[in-house]
């Protein structure tokens, strides 16, 4: 072959390899260098955990206090995290000796993200809140929530419940916690971000308090290592 033929062959091979390699490189940079990065932040204080009020356009007289306990999801990446969801995946119950037992056959279930939706797109550097659960005033729980409570089998009573902020209410597992000590595992999923998870320990006395500092001593939530 003549030199010009070799040049043509090599040029053709180079262009063909480039055509194949460039899309692969672009996808790699998109997923690795410019990928979204989800992180979870939490403090047992405002604005993560807040005292507010139940209100409704259907009932102008409704003005019952409620405490919401939330963690924060932050996208520290360089692109939008798509279809993010927070999933409550596991539940542990502590006995009187402080030993945890995993709740059997617990089905993963979505928590409500900001705005009440189970899925949310999170832009770069955007921060959103995801409620873990809430405690309504004793009068509101008695009037509006007690009938919807699905307790842990064998754990009943007239005490206040800590209602988990679930998108559904399966009858096969609890949607609230009576006074006691518990642990939960929550995972964050996204179409294009790496999954991350967090464990929380929950100590709940069952007592209502009218101020945030006092209430945050009755229900203590803290990050934990793997249970």
pLDDT (0 to 100) of residue 13: 56
Largest Cα–Cα separation, the chain:
94
Specify the pairing of strand 196-204 against strand 219-224.
Answer: antiparallel
Say how far apart CA 45 and CA 70 lie, in whole Å.
10
pLDDT (0 to 100) of residue 170: 79
Instruction: Mention the CATH class of domain 36-224.
Output: mainly beta
Under the banding of pLDDT at 50, 70 and 90, the label for residue 46 is very high
pLDDT (0 to 100) of residue 115: 75
pLDDT (0 to 100) of residue 58: 82
Q: pTM of the full predicted structure?
A: 0.84
Query: Above 50 in pLDDT, residue 135?
Result: yes
Say how far apart CA 222 and CA 100 lie, in whole Å.
16
User: Considering only CA atoms, which of 47, 165, 66 is closest in space to residue 116?
Assistant: 165
Tokens at residue 72, please? 């924060």
Residues 104-109: what's their mean pLDDT? 92
Cβ pair 89, 185 in contact under 8 A: yes
Say how far apart CA 3 and CA 107 lie, in whole Å.
68
Query: pLDDT tens digit string along 160-204?
Result: 999 999 998 878 899 999 999 999 999 999 999 999 999 999 999
């Amino acid at each position: 072959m003549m030199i010009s033929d070799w040049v043509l062959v090599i040029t053709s091979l180079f262009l063909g390899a480039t055509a194949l390699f460039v899309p692969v490189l672009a996808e790699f940079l998109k997923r690795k260098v410019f990928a979204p990065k989800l992180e979870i932040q939490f403090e047992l204080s405002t604005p993560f955990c807040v005292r507010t009020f139940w209100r409704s356009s259907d009932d102008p007289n409704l003005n019952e206090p409620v405490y919401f306990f939330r963690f924060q999801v932050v996208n520290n990446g360089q692109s939008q995290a798509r279809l993010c969801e927070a999933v409550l995946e596991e539940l542990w119950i502590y006995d009187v000796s402080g030993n945890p037992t995993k709740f059997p056959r617990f089905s993963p279930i979505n928590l409500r993200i900001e705005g009440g939706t189970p899925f949310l797109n999170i832009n770069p550097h955007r921060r959103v809140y995801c409620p873990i659960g809430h405690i309504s005033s004793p009068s509101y729980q008695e009037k509006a929530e007690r009938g919807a409570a699905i307790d842990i089998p064998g754990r009943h009573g007239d005490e206040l419940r800590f209602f988990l902020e679930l998108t559904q209410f399966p009858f096969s597992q609890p949607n609230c916690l009576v006074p006691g000590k518990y642990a939960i595992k929550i995972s964050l999923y996204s179409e294009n971000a790496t999954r991350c998870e967090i464990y929380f320990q929950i100590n709940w006395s069952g007592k209502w308090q009218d101020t945030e500092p006092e209430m945050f001593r009755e229900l203590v939530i803290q990050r934990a290592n793997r249970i």
